[in-house]
Amino acid sequence: MTKAAELAGSARLLLGDGVVHLDPAPAMFAAMLDGWATQQRARFLKADTIKARIDLVRRFAHFTGQYPWQWQAQEAEEFISHLRSGTQPVMVSTARGYQNGLRLFMEYVTDARYSWPAVCQERFDAVPIQILHEWNTVAHTSEYEGRPGRRPLTYDEVQSLLDAADARVEEIRGRRRKGALAAMRDATLLKTVYAYGLRRREAWGLDVVDLRRNPKATDYGTYGALFVRYGKSSRGGQPKRRTVLTVPEMDWIVPVLQQWVSEARPLFSPGSHPAFWVTERRGRLSSRGINEAFEQARNDAGLPEALDLHCLRHSYVTHLVEFGYPEKFVQDQVGHSYASTTAIYTGVSDEFRNRLVQQSLQQRHASLWESQK
């Protein structure tokens, strides 16, 4: 069995035997954070995830004015209570994320295999304890805990959004100003995000070579599918890959992409750059640039500010369901591991539900009619 002192992130390795610190408490806390970061890197977690968790623990320590071996459950409860107060109270999902992050840190420093309890007992006559439990953390009672204003767009709203993006191109051209080409790129980008239900990073990572043929839809040529290589990863794994098929209800995207690839994109002079969405500086369009493209079109269309780029993905899921596609097909199209996740994304319209009710009534009356013959 591996000894505790040999584990990456253990106290003995990080502190060193025989080392005496002038200010031992801050040194111990810094070593704990370094060790936890090492442990998370060993699990191949993303650098951004690790940094966010470390920052959270530092923020909590600053709030309490104490060190982990001094923390009690009361400090965690007061921290969340503080975040709930003020003019911008924390959301339930954010609070749960903070609690989970702190709980994971406390699991690490209370694990005897990493020696932190023994070292803290030796040097401070106190040991860290788990401060977050089922009885003082947010209960998961609802599948969706996001902002209420974040929802799928209606068909009319999607049309207004895309029309606003196209109108911006014509407006810039009419003023004879620079930026018409970038506006055309942004309009094409938003149409692609909706037509394939892409996440922001998935759209960001598209290359020209990711265009695919679909043998069952030869009319679409090389625009029969998109090969997504930057899907959402999980548990420190690599980005997931999937192929998203062009569906007939969205095949208006085919000529849009054809025009972009053959006519508009070459005007950026991208050379050998592989990115599907390029900038005037011959680089890949940033995630921030993608967000700004949506926000510009949303504001021009007069849509609610609560709507963001991800709402187009929610719209795609909802509209595929309303088109009558099976749940498993929709789930595979958007790359969800579980059907329950796809269900959360779905927000069918009253018109669609009324249509289902009418179909059910017609079938029922037809059955009654046949039985009375």
Q: Per residue in 221-235, pLDDT tens?
A: 999 999 999 998 876
- Report whether pLDDT(5) > 50: no
pLDDT of residue 128: 96
pLDDT of residue 352: 58
pLDDT of residue 176: 82
Lowest mean pLDDT among 125-134, 143-152, 312-321: 143-152
Percent of the chain with pLDDT over 90: 69
pLDDT digits (tens, 9 = 90+) for 60-119: 999 999 999 999 999 999 999 999 987 888 888 889 999 999 999 999 999 999 999 999
pLDDT of residue 16: 61
**Tokens representing 20?**
């005496």
pLDDT of residue 78: 95
Rounded-to-integer distance, Cα 254 and Cα 294, Å: 21
Rounded-to-integer distance, Cα 200 and Cα 223, Å: 20
How confident is the model over 349-367, as a mean pLDDT? 60
Q: Which of 185, 191, 184 has the alpha carbon at shortest distance from 170?
A: 184
**Tokens representing 303?**
């849509």
pLDDT digits (tens, 9 = 90+) for 19-65: 556 688 999 999 999 999 999 999 888 899 999 999 999 999 999 99
Rounded-to-integer distance, Cα 326 and Cα 332, Å: 10
Q: May I ask the CATH architecture of the domain 155-357?
A: Orthogonal Bundle (1.10)
- Report whether pLDDT(18) > 50: yes
Rounded-to-integer distance, Cα 247 and Cα 214, Å: 11
pLDDT band of residue 356 (cuts 50, 70, 90) is low
Rounded-to-integer distance, Cα 164 and Cα 158, Å: 10
Q: In what order do the strands lie in the sheet with 240-245?
A: 211-212, 225-231, 240-245
**Tokens representing 307?**
């709507």
